[in-house]
Structure 1
Amino acid sequence: MFKSILLATAALVIALPATAKTPAANAPVISAARISQDIKVISADDFEGRGITTRAEQKTIDYLSKSFAAAGFQPGGDNGGWTQDVHLRQFVVSDPKLAFNLADGKTMDLHQGVEITVSTRGATSDVSFDKAPLVFVGYGVSAPERNWNDFKGPDGKDIDVRGKILVELINDPDFVEPQLMTFNGKAMTYYGRWTYKYEEAARRGAAGVLIIHDADAASYGWDTVRNSNIGSKFDIVRPDPSTASPKLESWISHETADALFKAAGQDLAALRVKARSRDFRAVDLNVTLSGSYKVAATEITTHNIIARLPGTERPDETILYTGHWDHLGICAPDAKDKICNGAVDNGTGVAALLEIARAFGKAPKPKRSIVMIAFTAEESGLLGSEYYANNPVYPLAKTVAGINMDALNVNGRTKDIVVEGVGQSSLDDLVKLYATEQHRTITPEPRPEAGGFFRSDHFPLVKRGVPMLVAGSGDDMVKGGVKAGEAFSKDYTDNRYHQPGDEWSAKWDLSGLVEDATLYYRIGSALANSTVWPTWRDTSEFKGARDKTAAERK
C-alpha cells in the first residue's frame, strides 16, 4: 500500500507543470486582513444569519457577486447570471402537542426543544397521531452486504413498521466497540447518519423516527440539535415527499429516552449492548405516541452563487471550489441574542472562496476553467449541492476535481493537516506534496466517528464520482500543540457551533487559515494547468461512478 501511494504521488508530480512545484513561482498572496473583513461583513447582524429565502439571501448574493466580479471572474450561473435557481419545498411546523401514552395509563408530555424536536419533510399538511406504537430498532440499519438487519422480530423475519414510530440510536454499531469492525470501526459509515435513518424509515413506511441524542455519538450537544431542528426544514421538490422522509423527523434528549425506557419496563443500557450485535431483535416498547402539529408546506426558490474564470486551452474542463453561504438565520427567537451569525460556519469558507478567486484573478489565466460555487441550503441537508449535482451547470464528467471549504481554522497555524475520508482518492497525494512544502504532515481524522466525510457539500458530488477534497488544519498547533488545538475544537463545538456565539472576532489568528487557503490554491492551480485527472483508489466505493463517465471525457 505504501509503495503504491509513493508511485501515485510520483506520477502526479511528474504530470504537474514545473511552476506548480516551485513555491516562489506559484505562491499566491493570501491576505488575512481581506479574509477577516469578508467574514466580518457576511456574519454581521444585518445579514441576520444568512437564512435562505430571507432578505439576507439577496444581500449575500449581491456581496459575493460584486466581490467575484472585482476578482476578475465572470457570472457562472443560469442564463449568464451569477446564480442557479434551486427549487425546494419548505416545511414549517407549528403548535406541536405530543405525548407518550404509557402502559400504566399515564402520559409523558413532550415540549418542542426541551424533551423533543419536532420537524418534518415528509408531510405537506397537518399531522396527527392516535396511539402510534413505538418500536426500538437499535441503530435502524439494514445493510445486506454486511449481513445486518435491525428490523428483525423475535422470529427473525422483518417486522411491519408501517404507521409506527421507530426509536433509534445515533451513529452505527461500531461506535462504542470499534474493535468489532462490523462496519468501519470507529469511523462512521453512512448508516450512522441521521439522514440515512430517516430515509430507511420512509422506505419501510414508518410514521416517524425518534433518534436518541448522545453527545459523543452525534458529535454535538443538545443545543445544536435543538437549534438545527425546530425551525423550517427544506427538501428538493418531490411528487410524494413521504417516500423519502417520514411524517415525524425527531430527536429526543437522552434524559427523555431514559425516562421513556424506564416507564416501558426496559433497560436502555442493556438494549444498547444488544443493538451492537447481528442477533439484535426489534423491541415493542408497549408505549404509543399521540398528538398533533400543524404543517405549512410551500415551494420556494433559493440560489447557488456561481462564478467562473474560463480556461485558455481546455475551458470545458472544470476545477471546482465550493463552500456554502447559508447558515441558520434567526435561530433563537426568544433569546437575547437571536441570530446564529455563522462566522466560522461558513463565513470562513465563503471568505476563502473570495480570496482564492482574487489570487486566480491576479495570476496568469489557467488552462482549465475555475468555477467557484457558494452553495445554498447546506444547513438544510446539503440541498444546494444536491440540486447542483442533479442539475450541473458544468458537466460532472468534465469536472476534474474539487475542493470544498467549510468551517475553517481561526486559531492559528498548525503542524498538521487532516484529510477527511483519507485514502479515497489521489487528491491525498497532492495534499501531501504541498503540505510538505509548508512543513506540515497529514494526520488521520481525529474523530472519524463523527462522519465528517458525509456532512458537507462535497458529498453529493462524491456520490456521483467527482473527486472532492476536504482538508484543513489539524489540532497540533504551532503554539500550544495538540492540547491547545483540542481545546479550541471543544470550545467551538460546545459554545459556538450552530449557536449565536459563532460570531466574528478581531482576536482571531488567521495565519492557519491563510496557510490552508494557500494550499487549496496551489492544488487547484496545479490541476488547472495540467492534464492530470485525479483518480479514486481501487478500494473506494465511488470509483465505479467515475469510471462510468470516463467515455464522456473523450
Structure 2
Amino acid sequence: MGGSMQGHGRWVGGFWAFALLLAGAGAAPAVPLSVAPPISIGAIDGYLRFLSSDLLEGRAPATRGGELAEEYIASVFHSLGLEPGMPDGSYFQKVPITVSTLRRDSLKMQAVAGSQTLALDSPEAAIFWSNRTESHTDVDGEIVFVGYGAKAPEYRWDDFKQSVRGKVLLVLVNDPPATASEPRLFGGRAMTYYGRWVYKFQEAERQGAAGAIIVHTPERAGYPWHTVISSWSGDQRFLAPAGDAPAALPVRGWITDTAARQLLALKGLNLDTLVSQAARRDFQPVATGIRLVGSFDTDVRSIEARNVVARLSGADPRFKQQAVLFTAHHDHLGIGPAVEGDRIYNGANDNASGVADLLAMAQAAKLAPPPKRSLYFAAVTAEESGLLGSAYFAEHPSLPLDRIVANLNIDGGNLLGRTRDLVVQGENKSTLGDLLRLVAREQNLTTSPDPFPERGAFYRSDQFSLALRGVPALSVAAGTDFIGRPRGWGKAQLETYVAKRYHQPSDEYRPGLDLSGAAQLSRLVLSVGLTVANAPNLPQWKPDSEFQRSKTTQATP
C-alpha cells in the first residue's frame, strides 16, 4: 500500500509542524509517525460478505439480524485475541432504547389566534411527535419566534435574550448567515452544530420550552419535505434523558415554509421580515400572540440493542490507561418496504463496510508493535436512529471519558478501489486533522474538501457523539479521485449510489468488489490511531471549534 515509509514507528525528519501541533508552543522533539501493518483484503471481504448477507435481515437494532451481527462481531474480536472492552468483562454494552409510534388518527393540532384557526394535523403541512415515554401528549402554549434558536458564545450570538420557558418555539433550520464583514460567521458556507435540527431541539429543552417547531425549506435543510415525512412520521427511537439532563420536549415538530407563513399571517406577521431580523446579533425573541393547541397519542415500548466493544491494552504503564477509540456503526434499516421484490435493506456500504474495516484494523493492530496507549474498537448500534449507540457510549463510556484522547470513525468504507484522496469530516476542527494530513502524505494520499459542506455531514455520524463530549474526533471516507479511472468517475459513482442504493435494498454485497481501497483507507486510519497512541502529547480542539467550550480536561497518566 502506498507511501515511502516502511516498518513501524519510523522517525520522520522535517515534520516540525506536527511536533508543534501536538506539543503546543515551543520546541519539541520530532514525533514518529506510525505505520500500520498491511490490511488483509481477504479479511475485509469475509467480514463484509457475512455482515451484509440476507441472513442478518438488514441488522436493525434489537432484531434477530441485529443480534446475530452483534454476536458475530464479538466472536471476531475474541478470535483475534482482543480483550472485552467493558468494565464487567463483556464485549457488550446494553443500550436501552425507547420506541414511540404516533397514532396518526389521534393527532389534533392547530394554531389559534382569537377566532382564527389553522389546522396543522396534515403531514403535507406539519409533522409532530414526542420523545417522551407518556402515551398521551397535550400542548397549549404561545408560539414564540426565536430565529435560529442558537446560543453560541464563540460567535457572540444569543437568540434567547428573554425567557421562553413554557413557550412553543418557532425556529429556522440551519445557521445564521455569514456576512461580508464576517465571512466565517457560523462556519460560512459549512453548516455547524448550531444549524442541525438535533441541536435546536436540545437547546429548546435547555430553555424549558413546551415545544419546538422547525421551519423547513429544501435549500436550508438539505433535503425535501418528503424526507421529513419519511423520517419523522413512523417509529421514533430515543434514549431516556440522563439523570441531570433536562426533560425531553413535550412536542417536537417540523412545518413547511408555506404553512409557517400561513400561521404567522393569523396575526399579520411576515416570515421574510422575521428572517431578516433573525440574521442580526441584536435579535430578540418575538411573541406572536398565536397559540399551538392540540394533542396526540403514541404507542410506547422499550427495546435493548448492544454496542460491541473490544480493547487492545497499551504497553506503557504510564499511558495505557489512556486510549484511542475507533468506531463504526453496525446497524442498518432491517426489513422494510419492497423495492423490486426485495425487502431486506442489507446496508453493505452503510455500514457493513465500515465494520469490516474496523475488524480488519483490529486484526492488523494485533500484528503491530504494541502502542503506548490502549486501543478501543467499538461497533455501535442505532446510528440510523439518531446516533443512539454512540451517544449512549459517550454518556456511559467503558473508561473515563477524559482518558479517550481521540476518536476515529468510519461510516461507509470504500468498495470501488484505491484513491488518491480522502474526505475527512472534522478535518479543520482539531489538531487531529493536521496529524491525519501528515500521515496521509506519507501514504501518498491527500485530503479533499467536503463536496457538500452545507449539509453538515460531521454532525450526522457517530464521531459527533464523542466530539459533543469534548473528545477530538474525525470521520474518514474515500475521496473521488480513483486510481486507474477517468476524471469524474468517482463523483459519478457517488451520485449513482446516493440516487439508487443509499438506504435501499440494492445496497448489498456484490462479488468482485474492489476492496483494495478499503484496505488503503483502513491502513491510513489505523496508522493515525497508532501515531496518536504513541505520541507524547495529545490532539486538541482548535480555538474556533464549537467544541472548544465543551472540551474535557484530559487526564495525565
TM-score if structure 2 supplies the norm length?
Answer: 0.82
Deviations 1:23-63 (A, max 9, x none): xxx541331x5434433432344433322222233111111
**Offset from partner CA, 1:392-446 (integer Å, 9 cap, x none):** 2123333343311112333443332222222333322332223223322223333
Structure 1 residues 44, 273: CA separation in 2 closer, same or farther (over 3 Å shift)?
farther
1:81-119 superposed Cα distances (whole Å, 9 cap, x missing partner): 22012334443332352343476856445345x543332
Q: What is the CA distance between 1:348 and its match in structure 2? A: 1.9
Q: 1:267 to 1:343 in 2, by over 3 A?
A: farther
C-alpha deviation, 1:126, in angstroms? 0.6
Query: Shift in Å at residue 372 of structure 1?
Result: 0.8
**Would you say the 8 A contact 1:178–1:186 is kept in 2?**
no
Aligned equivalent of 1:522: 527
Structure 2: gaps of 5 or more residues: 1-14
Give the CA deviation at 1:358: 1.9
Q: Return 333-342 or 519-528, whichever deviates more.
A: 333-342
Q: Is the 8 A contact 2:426 2:433 kept in 1?
A: no
Instruction: Give the count of matched residue pairs.
Output: 535
Does the 8 Å CA contact 1:91/1:121 hold for their aligned counterparts? yes
Q: Read off the aligned partner of 1:8 and give its amino acid letter.
A: L
What is the Cα deviation at residue 512 of structure 1? 2.9
In structure 1, the partner of 2:166 is 162
The equivalences for 1:415-430 within 5 A come to 415-430=420-435
Tell me the equivalent position of 2:313. 310
1:65-464 superposed matches below 5 A: 65-95=74-104, 96-101=106-111, 105=116, 107-108=118-119, 110-112=121-123, 114-129=124-139, 132-143=141-152, 146-151=155-160, 158=162, 160=164, 162-164=166-168, 166-174=169-177, 180-238=183-241, 243-254=246-257, 256-257=259-260, 267-283=270-286, 288-314=291-317, 315-330=320-335, 332=337, 338-464=343-469
Q: Name the stretch that deviates more: 191-200 or 237-246.
A: 237-246
In the alignment, which residue of structure 2 is the partner of 1:14? 30
Structural mapping, 1:492-507, within 5 Å = 492-506=497-511
Quickly say closer, same or farther: Cα 1:261–1:538, change in 2 above 3 A. closer
In 2, distance between residues paired with 1:121 and 1:80? 33
Report if the CA contact (8 A) 1:123-1:246 is conserved. no
Contact 2:178 2:186 survives alignment (8 Å): no
- What residue identity is the alignment partner of 1:219? G
From 455, 473, 477, give the equivalent of 2:478: 473
Residue 29 of structure 1 corresponds to which residue in structure 2?
39
Structure 1 residues not aligned, in runs of 5+: 153-157
CA RMSD after TM alignment:
3.7
Distance 1:393 1:260, change over 3 A: same
C-alpha spacing 1:78/1:255, structure 2 compared with 1 (3 Å): farther
CA–CA separation in structure 1 for the residues paired with 2:459 and 2:156: 23
Structure (1 or 2) with the greater helix fraction: 1
Shift of 1:496: 4.2
- Tell me the distance in 2 between the aligned counterparts of 1:335 and 1:108: 37
- 1:461 and 1:109, CA in 2 relative to 1: closer, same or farther beyond 3 A? closer
Corresponding residue SS for 2:521: helix
CA distance in 1, matches of 2:506, 2:229: 15
Separation in 2 of the partners of 1:69 and 1:448? Answer: 39
SS at match of 2:69: helix
- Provide Cα deviations, 1:320-345, integer angstroms capped at 9, x if missing partner: 21112223334559996555433322
- Measured in 2, the distance between the counterparts of 1:120 and 1:508 equals 42
Alignment correspondent of 1:155: none
Conserved in 2, the CA contact under 8 Å of 1:320 and 1:399?
yes
Q: SS in structure 1 opposite 2:57?
A: helix
Question: Do the aligned residues in 1 keep the contact of 2:237 with 2:385 (CA within 8 Å)?
Answer: yes
SS of the aligned residue for 1:39 comes to helix
Who is 2:9 aligned against?
none
SS in 1 for 2:480: coil
Q: Any idea what the Cα deviations from partners look like across 1:344-397, whole Å, max 9, x if unmatched? A: 222221111111122223445444432211112323333322222232212333
C-alpha deviation, 1:526, in angstroms: 3.4
Question: Structure 1's 291 and 481: CA in aligned 2 closer, same or farther, altered over 3 A?
Answer: farther
Kept in 2: contact 1:78–1:85 (CA 8 A): no
CA contact (8 A) 2:77 2:359 kept: yes
The 2-side partners of 1:242 and 1:469 are apart by 26
Instruction: Tell me by how many angstroms 1:151 deviates.
Output: 4.8
For the 8 Å contact 1:201–1:245, the answer to whether it is kept is no
Asked if 2 retains the 8 angstrom alpha-carbon contact of 1:302 and 1:376, the reply is: yes
Q: 1:546 to 1:163 in 2, by over 3 A?
A: closer
Kindly tell me: are residues 146 and 518 of structure 1, through their superposed partners in 2, closer, same or farther at Cα, counting changes over 3 Å? closer
Q: Distance in 2 between matches of 1:105 and 1:414?
A: 60
- CA change 1:311–1:284 in 2 (3 A) is closer
Question: Does the C-alpha gap of structure 1 residues 136 and 39 become closer, same or farther in structure 2, counting only changes over 3 Å?
Answer: farther
Distance 1:224 1:180 in 2: 30
